[in-house]
Amino acid sequence: MSHPAAGAPARTYPPRPQAVYFYGTCLVDMFVPEAGMDAIALLEREGIRVIFPENQTCCGQPAFTSGFPGEARQVVASQLDLFPGDYPIVVPSGSCGGMLRWHWEKAVGDDPALKAKAAAISERTYEFAEFLLHVVGFNRQDQGPATTVTLHTSCSARREMGTHLVGRELLARLGNVTLAHHDHESECCGFGGTFSLKHPDVSTAMVSDKVASLKATGAAQMVTADCGCMLNITGRAAKEDQDAGRAKPSLPGEHLATFLLRRTGGKA
């Protein structure tokens, strides 16, 4: 399979399916479950049945990108039979979606049977915003007050899944929402999975720059489709608020699914 950076042709999208598999990601499951539930609510409201395979775990990205191919292979191989039906697989994280779509086939090694299963899963994998825009054709009336938001997309999700483009388009379909672009949009927030643990000082400097850039837009809040980045950015902003004695968050953050559901009348 050609990687997007290698000039792969534009993706062909299927008609709206009756059902999808939802790959929740371990980070959403453990830290931001409401984002996953809101993504599921959006899909179900569009008449799509959502199947959540209960034995799903981590996508294997931490081991794969940290140089532990054996461990990554075990993680991936244990999940290849979780999606037996011919339904799309929707992932509410661009970086995890990119792992399934572009790297699972490499992670399983040279075993032909495993590679075939991983390749079939790759073709059916969609990042949540991509699926909502291009397959569902999401276009609900904006019921919220006028507001300005700024969008953050993880660096790997931008490169591998084009989340900046689909995120912008979904927000543009909300009539009362103005998108404020920031000058560090394509730069990493410093999270990078294990990077933030191995290089905390560098990571802190990177996320501080990102927070300053986001705040400089004057937006009321940040919206993102990657919870790892969201936790890193809002956590740093909260630390700065604490140090400055501010009681009100200066940079609230919200997953795109939660924002869309709330703005279109699906959540108080």
Q: Convert 58-67 to b/e letters by CB count within 10 Å (16 or more is b).
A: bbbbbbbbee
pLDDT band, very low/low/confident/very high, at 115 (cuts 50, 70, 90): very high
Bridging pattern class, strands 49-51 and 19-22: parallel
CA-nearest of 144, 165, 128 to 220 is 144
Mean pLDDT of 143-167: 93
| Average pLDDT of the residues of the chain | 93
pLDDT (average), residues 179-207: 85
pTM beyond cutoff 0.75:
yes
Q: Can you give the pLDDT at residue 4?
A: 57
Distance between CA atoms of 169 and 161, rounded to whole angstroms?
14
Q: Please state, in angstroms and rounded to a whole number, the distance separating the CA atoms of residues 60 and 48.
A: 27
SS percent in the chain: helix, strand, coil, step 5: 50, 10, 40
| DSSP conformation letters of 80-120 | TTS--SS--EEES-HHHHHIIIIIHHHHTTT-HHHHHHHHH
Lowest mean pLDDT across 7-16, 86-95, 162-171: 7-16
d(C-alpha 212, C-alpha 194), whole Å: 23
Q: Which domains does the chain have, with CATH numbers?
A: 13-135 (1.20.1050.140), 140-263 (3.40.50.11810)
Has residue 28 got a pLDDT over 60? yes
pLDDT in tens, 30-52: 999 999 999 999 999 999 999 99
pLDDT at 145 over 90: yes
What secondary structure letter does DSSP report for 2? -
Q: Could you tell me the pLDDT band of residue 132, with boundaries at 50, 70 and 90?
A: very high
- At residue 236, the pLDDT reads 95
Q: What is the pLDDT of residues 240-258, one digit of tens each?
A: 999 999 999 999 999 999 9
The first and second tokens of residue 247, run together, are 């009681």
Q: Give the lowest-confidence range in 7-21, 91-105, 220-234.
A: 7-21
pLDDT of residue 197: 73
DSSP structure string for 185-214: TTS--S-TTTHHHH-HHHHHHHHHHHHHHH
